[in-house]
């Protein structure tokens, strides 16, 4: 038969978690169950679907190794606290990801999204948990040529997480309708992605990414105290920069400071570091060598 160089197609997999919370009632069913990707596993009245009332994480998996697994689990627990959900069983989620990797097979670059919802409306208030895994799309172009970005307001002041915690800023909730809507607005403006800004003039994060800025030998990211997620890829980026002698800092970043940065990236667990080549219509230089080394380091990262 003719030699083929294309990899075998990946079959996505779903793992359901029977008792995703430390407070889940005991039961006889196995904790984890493997399902084909197209088998429905969630009830139509699940609050994750009907209200977006729940949380999730997306982790990157390179050659079977989960990146930043503990950072993701800690952020998951923090999101659950902000939403006042019963405490999730982090070890059950860790095991679900590992089982999913076994079933996904030999994939170079994959991701796992795991979900935790408040349960089924008016029938059972027991949380629902599951994970699904698939091959990661190819992000080579975004990681090398970069992305065009526009700044768009999130409409809140910088201190919203402190003054109005019920708005759930700083939690990775399932309510990502706004995070998708801003991408459609960006596309209308000819851009690929967005940096959210506050009503009082600060830069925050992307709808699915963390903003990382370089000023000479100094690397900055907006402070996670102010309603942005602590990015796990950004933590990996800081480790990379520190190993190369850069200093790193979390601080409030004014939107008008973006123009002075020598290089900007948006980082996340799937796309890794995407350099910004245009911001609000202004072309920016890309340090291709530094960006390639950063992405290489993020890909090689272990837990
Ligand atoms: N900020 C938001 C709003 C996100 O949704 C994400 C990830 O999807 C990030 C930041 C980056 O987080 P991580 O680097 O852990 O993927």
Q: Write a three-state SS string for 41-108.
A: CCCCCEHHHHCCCEEEEEEEEECCEECCHHHHHHHHHHHHHHCCCCCECHHHHHHHHHHHHHHHCCCC
Cα dihedral: 224, 134, 240, 204 (round 10): -20
Residue 2: inside a domain, yes or no?
A: no
CATH number of the domain enclosing 201 = 3.20.10.10
pLDDT at 293 over 80: yes
Compute, in angstroms, the gap from residue 78 CA to the centroid of ligand 1: 14
For residue 109, give the nearest of 77, 75, 143 by alpha carbon: 143
Q: Which of 3-17, 93-107, 165-179, 205-219 has the lowest mean pLDDT?
A: 3-17
Read off the pLDDT band of 116 (50, 70, 90): very high
Contact between 273 and 239 (Cβ < 8 Å): no
CATH number of the domain enclosing 110 = 3.30.470.10
Residue 285: inside a domain, yes or no?
A: yes
Task: Give yes or no: residues 153 and 36 share one domain.
Answer: no
Compute, in angstroms, the gap from residue 208 CA to the centroid of ligand 1: 5
231 pocket-lining for ligand 1 (C-beta < 6 Å): yes
More confident residue, 26 or 111: 111
Task: Give yes or no: residues 123 and 191 share one domain.
Answer: no
Domain that holds residue 43: 13-136
Give the separation between CA 55 and CA 60, rounded to whole angstroms: 17
Task: Give yes or no: residues 129 and 153 share one domain.
Answer: no
**Per-residue CA distances from 52 to 48, 156, 173, 175, 177 (Å):** 4, 20, 7, 5, 9
pLDDT tens per residue, range 207-258? 999 999 999 999 999 999 999 999 999 999 999 999 999 999 999 999 999 9
Residue 93: inside a domain, yes or no?
A: yes
Compute, in angstroms, the gap from residue 244 CA to the centroid of ligand 1: 24
Among residues 108, 136, 164, the one where a domain terminates is 136
Judged by DSSP in three states, 258 sits in helix
Task: Give yes or no: residues 231 and 189 share one domain.
Answer: yes
Contact between 100 and 123 (Cβ < 8 Å): no
269 pocket-lining for ligand 1 (C-beta < 6 Å): yes
Task: Give yes or no: residues 162 and 289 share one domain.
Answer: yes
Q: What does the pLDDT read at residue 1?
A: 41
Task: Give yes or no: residues 145 and 272 share one domain.
Answer: yes
Task: Give yes or no: residues 18 and 123 share one domain.
Answer: yes
């Amino acid at each position: 038969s003719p030699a083929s160089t294309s990899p075998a197609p990946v079959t996505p997999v779903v793992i359901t978690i029977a008792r995703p919370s430390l407070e889940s009632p005991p039961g006889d069913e196995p904790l984890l169950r493997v399902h084909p990707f197209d088998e429905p596993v969630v009830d139509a009245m699940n609050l994750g679907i009907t209200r977006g009332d729940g949380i999730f994480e997306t982790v990157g998996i390179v050659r079977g190794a989960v990146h930043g697994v503990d950072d993701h689990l800690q952020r998951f627990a923090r999101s659950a606290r902000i939403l006042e959900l019963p405490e999730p069983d982090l070890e059950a989620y860790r095991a679900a990801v590992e089982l999913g990797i076994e079933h996904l097979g030999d994939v170079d670059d994959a991701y796992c999204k795991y979900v935790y919802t408040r349960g089924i409306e008016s029938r059972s208030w027991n949380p629902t948990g599951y994970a699904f895994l698939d091959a990661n799309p190819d992000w080579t172009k975004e990681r090398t040529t970069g992305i065009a970005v526009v700044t768009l307001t999130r409409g809140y002041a910088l201190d919203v997480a402190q003054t109005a915690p019920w708005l759930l800023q700083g939690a990775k909730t399932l309510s990502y309708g706004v995070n998708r809507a801003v991408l459609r607005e960006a596309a209308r403006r000819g851009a690929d992605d967005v940096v959210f800004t506050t009503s009082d003039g600060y830069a925050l994060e992307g709808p699915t990414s963390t903003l990382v800025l370089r000023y000479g030998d100094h690397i900055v990211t907006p402070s996670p105290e102010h309603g942005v997620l602590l990015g796990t890829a950004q933590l990996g980026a800081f480790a990379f920069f520190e190993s190369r002698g850069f200093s790193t800092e979390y601080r409030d970043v004014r939107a008008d400071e973006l123009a002075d940065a020598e290089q900007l990236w948006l980082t996340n667990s799937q796309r890794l570091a995407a350099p910004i080549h245009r911001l609000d219509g202004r072309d920016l230089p890309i340090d291709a060598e530094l960006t390639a080394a950063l992405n290489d380091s993020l890909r090689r990262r272990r837990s």
